[in-house]
Amino acid sequence: MTKSSLFRWTTEFEIVPMGADDCAEASSLHATGFSRIWSDGEIQALIGQDAVFGFIAHRPGKRGRSGGFVLARLAADEAEILTIAVHPKYRETGLGWRLMGAVLRHLRTEGAQSLFLEVDEGNEAAIALYQKIGFSKVAERAAYYDQDSGAKTAALVMRLDLG
Ligand SMILES: CC(C)(COP(=O)(O)OP(=O)(O)OC[C@H]1O[C@@H](n2cnc3c(N)ncnc32)[C@H](O)[C@@H]1OP(=O)(O)O)[C@@H](O)C(=O)NCCC(=O)NCCS
């Protein structure tokens, strides 16, 4: 994160652990970032699993106008990012970085050794965020994502060493 970007950070959001009450809001946020929408119920089912946890960027005292969220799963000492989305209005203000930071702090507390994720090869913003955090590509799944255009793009599998 560059010094200049620190001054763009929105201070109005606080990053808090996600609960069942946040799933509808998370579903709306997810719809701003992906064409395959995750319903409130799907997110409820995920967050109800013991291994799954998440964080959401809330405005204190203003429920229902969150800035972004992240969901992750930890099994044994290996974790994966399930999804992350920041509302377009608040992108490039440091929220994605802060959400990922909350995940990393939680995983280190839990003794996790590595964190994996999959990202579309064409998703420059997400790849730049992950590289900035220290993730590196460990594999590629060819023709993994279907684009609206009918084209298929590869998924990059990225890993961050937490040990
Ligand atoms: C990917 C995403 C979560 C990033 O969130 P964000 O809040 O905009 O990211 P941040 O403001 O915290 O940016 C952190 C770093 O990521 C990189 N980055 C973020 N957006 C970028 C962009 N549009 N272009 C290039 N780099 C970008 C930069 O390195 C940035 O650091 P800098 O500000 O010092 O340059 C957001 O773009 C998003 O929700 N996209 C749609 C959903 C999605 O693609 N999720 C990921 C699926 S794998």
Structural domain boundaries of the chain? 3-161
Helix (H, G, I), strand (E, B) or coil at 31: helix
> 145 an active-site residue?
no
> 118 an active-site residue?
yes
Catalytic annotation, pick one of 78, 118, 121, 144 = 118
Q: What is the pLDDT along the chain (163 residues), one digit of tens a residue?
A: 444 455 556 678 999 999 999 999 999 999 999 988 999 999 999 999 999 999 999 988 776 789 999 999 999 999 999 999 999 999 999 999 999 999 999 999 999 999 999 999 999 999 999 999 999 999 999 999 998 889 999 999 999 999 8
Q: What is the pTM of this model?
A: 0.94
How far does residue 39's CA lie from ligand 1's centre (Å)?
A: 23
157 phi, psi to nearest 5 deg? -95, 125
Per residue in 22-62, pLDDT tens? 999 999 999 999 988 999 999 999 999 999 999 999 988 77
- The atom of ligand 1 lying closest to the CA of 1 is 34
Distance of alpha carbon 49 from alpha carbon 42, whole angstroms: 11
Residue located nearest, by CA, to atom 7 of ligand 1: 96
Write the CB contacts of 22 (distance below 8 Å, at least 6 apart in sequence): 54, 56, 66, 69
Q: Which CATH architecture has domain 3-161?
A: 3-Layer(aba) Sandwich (3.40)
